[in-house]
């Protein structure tokens, strides 16, 4: 449960830092995050 919360916080932080980026880049980042955290 704590890990899920940490993931959500990290994703939110990352998205906020990155800002508006290409959809393809978002997909790559999401895939990388999923791979990294799983």
pLDDT single digits (tens) 1-38: 666 766 777 777 766 665 556 677 888 888 999 998 88
pTM listed for this prediction: 0.39
Res 34: pLDDT? 92
Res 22: pLDDT? 67
DSSP string, 4-38: HHHHHHHHHHHHHHH-S--HHHHHHHHHHHHHHH-
Res 7: pLDDT? 72
What is the C-alpha to C-alpha distance for residues 10 and 21, in angstroms, rounded to an integer?
17
DSSP 8-state code for residue 2: H
Res 29: pLDDT? 84
């Amino acid at each position: 449960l704590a890990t899920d919360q940490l993931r959500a916080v990290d994703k939110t932080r990352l998205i906020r830092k990155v800002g508006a980026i290409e959809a393809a880049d978002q997909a790559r980042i999401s895939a990388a995050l999923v791979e990294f955290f799983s």
